[in-house]
Structure 1
Amino acid sequence: MTETILTNASIVRPDKVENGSLVLADGCIADILPHRVADGIDLHRAILIPGMIDIHTDYLERELSPRPGANIPIELAMHVMDMRALGCGLTTVSTAARISEERENETGAANVDGLALAKRFDELIPDMRARHLIHLRWSPNFEPVEPVLDQLLALKSIANLVFNDDMPGQRQFRDIEAMLKQHASLQKTSVEEARRRMQERIERVGKINNRMQVKAHVRGRIPLGSHDDTTVEHVIEAFASGATLSEMPCSIEAARKAKELGMMVCMGAPNYYRGGSHCGNLSCHEALAENLVDILCSDYHFPSMLASAVRMAEAGMKLSAAINLFTLNPARHLGIGDRTGSIEVGKEADLVAFHPHRGFGDVSRVWVGGKERYASLRERDLADNATSKPLLYESAMA
């Protein structure tokens, strides 16, 4: 049995923070000790948390296509994404693959063939250092769905499926004129031609709703959710379709209804860290003020996750409660909370050591399954600074 001891850390448990050491064995947490161990790996008073679990990110798109028309091989894109995730404290990442009636349209990263992407992604995941999963952003406006679902569910890495209604005039796509300009730019055509194509699409698929077909076909094999719910009616429809998650609700009314129905609510960490939605939708701060938020995801910006947890703690939230939003709660949504998402004996040793720094989290070391997968050069500086100041406000450490 291979044993590793991590010592001299503030260990964030689900309901408290305690100074001490962790014993790792065979990829899991074997023991939690309330004291320092002389021959352990000194973490220099770092905060030690479970690895962050990101249930929704579009990050891969920016690596695949850093500029319009400039495409990068997926092998390189995934490697860079993998390294960036670890450096930001993420040990489990669910990357979006968009599945819709436009899945064979390769006009850009946002419209790439999601089915083909998911298959290639699934093949490459074993080479990655972090844990990677596939988040299906599923359009409810195409059919037939069974052949596509059969291929997707045969993959090893499908994490969840979220209904993503992207029909013009709906949800966050209510500004049709703005959409037309964006589509015209992407398709390198005129606004008039983009309008004609959009109207054609609305007439072709506008009456299709495959939500109940998906619910029947999946039969509880993966968690279901709904993206950008804007009205109470949207949430009711999602719940009837088997959704247990309301992801990025656009209005406070939608978030309230989701909680009333017993659904979890996920918001974007960049929304919290920046102080509001970049597209004018519901503010995460407003939703948190009513205790409506269960999970924060990276959405499009990995660093915002740990940075948001630090900012929450500095604002007075209990550090354990803040960390749960990024670890234990997303693990429970994905159905893996029994083996990961918190520092408890017997769970997988997915761990992140960091120090708060200028309002964000400076990650020093990361372990996945008990194996060290990331170490910052700044660790040497920490070793030379044995008299560092307290890491966070005492109220947050409680």
Structure 2
Amino acid sequence: MGAQLFTNARIVTPAEDFMGSVEVENGIITAVEKDKIYQSGIDLKGQWLIPGCIDIHTDYLEKELYPRPSAAFPLPFALHFSDARAAACGITTVFSAVSFSDNEGKNRSFADAIALCQQIDAVRSQMLVRHYLHARIDPNSDTILNYLDDMAKLESLYLVVYNDHIPGTRQYTIEQQVEMRMKSMNLTEAEARRLLLDKVEALSHINHRAAIQKAFEHRCILGSHDDTTVDHVIEGKAYGATLSEMPTTLQAARKAKAEDMWVCLGAPNYYRGGSHCGNLSSLDAIDEDLVDIFCSDYHFPTMLGAVVKMMENGILPSKAINMVSLNPARLLKFDKELGSIEVGKKADIVTFSSKQQVAVVSMAMVGGVVKYSADYNHQVSALAAESNPQPFAAELI
């Protein structure tokens, strides 16, 4: 793989942004030159040049697998398009969330979830971007104890979060869940309430966080999902969690920061100006400097969309970009190789321009190889030819 020179770019490093040039050779960033513009190389005409986004939590694969609740598609088909869309949105590392829960209404059993993860393991090396698994484990389920050994064998499993499903304790109140059950299960209010209260009674006596921690603490990053109270954060930290993912209240986010945990919120929350289900607004959390990481949650385009809006709202480009690249890399302990535009790091690079609060991605490079390119308004002519890209989407087995 020969040397590649990107010039006349607005480069974002961990601490600053500037016009300049970046050189890549053999998949590694070999030079980052401030205020130096070349006549040769690929002229990016002032576009942003940033590290590829690292998405620590996305449910997007589920949308490709089940675009409608009763319409299922095979994994190779779904993963192909999930992978391609990630690259087109400037995401070069993806953690697809898979739920391991007895929660009613989910699309797959524990055994099915294991099988899905094993299939992802088998094809991840053929994908355009880097793929990992994010396990959302219900600690209030006895069933999970039968699957921890199989889960520990998954090659791509690297992030595990405690995803409590006791009704009324986290994301949704009992009243909200009563209403949801009435609609989804065609129950009366009394029937829905009794169902939920019986579930609270049964699940409150089950807590397998210790077993989950023992199974994964030496090979995975641990986190806690939907922390709502200070006690939730304390419990997660006690069982090895270093991440508070989607805290639903300011109190929980404040406590997580006080406990030196990483705080992650969904980028759609910021882009839309608030939570779609009435929980903590990332705008309020940002105002108190409580957010370290943004993930795509359920919508890939908002990763860079949120970056564009943050910069428009006066947040420094380096800080905004770090929230979708270097900070997640640090959480994951990937930061020696990924997460920033620095000499010696792998060339996971994205270039884009912004228009009408949209990040228009022109190139996504993974390990020095262009995995996605688009010639918007002739901004990056000849980019694909000079960089010897792979086909747009890999064939899956």
> Is this a same-fold pair by TM over 0.5?
yes
> Could you tell me which of 301, 322, 339 is aligned with 1:341?
339
CA-based RMSD of the aligned residues comes to 2.4
Answer whether contact 1:308 1:360 (CA < 8 A) is retained.
no
Q: Which residue of 2 aligns with 1:220?
A: 218
CA distance in 2: counterparts of 1:307 and 1:31, whole angstroms: 28
1:122-141 → structure 2 map (5 Å cutoff):
122-141=121-140
Question: TM-score, normalising length from structure 1?
Answer: 0.89
SS in 1 for 2:147: helix
Tell me, yes or no, if structure 1 residue 48 matches structure 2 residue 46. no
SS in 1 for 2:365: strand
Q: Which residue of 2 aligns with 1:391?
A: none
CA distance in 2: counterparts of 1:273 and 1:247, whole angstroms: 18
Report deviation, 1:203.
Answer: 4.5
Q: Which runs of 5+ in 2 are unaligned?
A: 383-397
Answer whether contact 2:8 2:37 (CA < 8 A) is retained.
yes
Structure 1's 145 and 70: CA in aligned 2 closer, same or farther, altered over 3 A?
closer
Report deviation, 1:163.
Answer: 0.7
Q: Which moved more, 1:330-339 or 1:177-186?
A: 177-186
Structure 1's 110 and 277: CA in aligned 2 closer, same or farther, altered over 3 A?
farther
1:242-391 → structure 2 map (5 Å cutoff):
242-378=240-376, 380=378
Question: TM-score, normalising length from structure 2?
Answer: 0.89
Answer whether contact 1:137 1:161 (CA < 8 A) is retained.
yes
Structure 1's 190 and 66: CA in aligned 2 closer, same or farther, altered over 3 A?
farther
1:192-211 → structure 2 map (5 Å cutoff):
198=196, 201-211=199-209
Deviations 1:166-220 (A, max 9, x none): 221110131x354355456656777777666655544443311011222223233
Deviations 1:252-281 (A, max 9, x none): 111111111111111111111111111111
- Aligned pair count reads 381
CA distance in 2: counterparts of 1:187 and 1:37, whole angstroms: 64
Report deviation, 1:42.
Answer: 1.8
CA distance in 1: counterparts of 2:128 and 2:380, whole angstroms: 25
Q: Which residue of 2 aligns with 1:151?
A: 150
Tell me, yes or no, if structure 1 residue 95 matches structure 2 residue 93. no
CA distance in 2: counterparts of 1:188 and 1:376, whole angstroms: 48
Report deviation, 1:3.
Answer: 1.6
Q: Which residue of 2 aligns with 1:2?
A: 2
Q: Which residue of 2 aligns with 1:171?
A: 170
CA distance in 1: counterparts of 2:74 and 2:356, whole angstroms: 35
CA distance in 2: counterparts of 1:182 and 1:129, whole angstroms: 38
Structure 1's 260 and 352: CA in aligned 2 closer, same or farther, altered over 3 A?
same
SS in 2 for 1:167: coil
Answer whether contact 1:3 1:26 (CA < 8 A) is retained.
yes
CA distance in 1: counterparts of 2:323 and 2:83, whole angstroms: 22
Deviations 1:108-144 (A, max 9, x none): 3799942222222222212210111101111111236
Answer whether contact 1:364 1:379 (CA < 8 A) is retained.
no
Q: Which residue of 1 aligns with 2:394?
A: none
